[in-house]
Amino acid sequence: MNKKTLNKRRTSSYKIFDNAVKRLEKVKEKAKSLGIFVDDRKLLECSECGLMEDIDINGRLLTVFEKAPDKDTGLRFEEIKNSKTFRCPNCGKVVSGKQELLNDIETNNWR
């Protein structure tokens, strides 16, 4: 195989990969629009009121309280800083999507 053919093959492999990534992104967007949990963050839980995210058997994201773990409240955590910070739709507490809950000072700022 000469160099030209090799380069052509590399370019077409890259295009195939690139197209696959683009298609995957579209699938991800579609799934998200259907309420399916596709993010790679941890599930959120509010330490203030106990509202927590869960995923049903169909992969759909829902929120429940511990006392009624099978009943979707219909509430959804609101994303406020590039998927890193969320606001509890029930009590308003700011919850970090990454690790721990933010400290109380930051939580009280928005109120």
Binding site for Zn ion (CB under 5 A): 46, 48-49, 51, 88, 90-91, 93
Q: How far is the CB of 71 from Zn ion (least distance, A)?
A: 16
Q: How far is the CB of 99 from Zn ion (least distance, A)?
A: 17
**8 A C-beta contact, residue 95 and residue 107:** no
Maximum Cα–Cα distance for the chain, whole Å?
68
Q: How far is the CB of 88 from Zn ion (least distance, A)?
A: 3
Query: Pick from 59, 58, 101: which is nearest to 77 by CA?
Result: 101
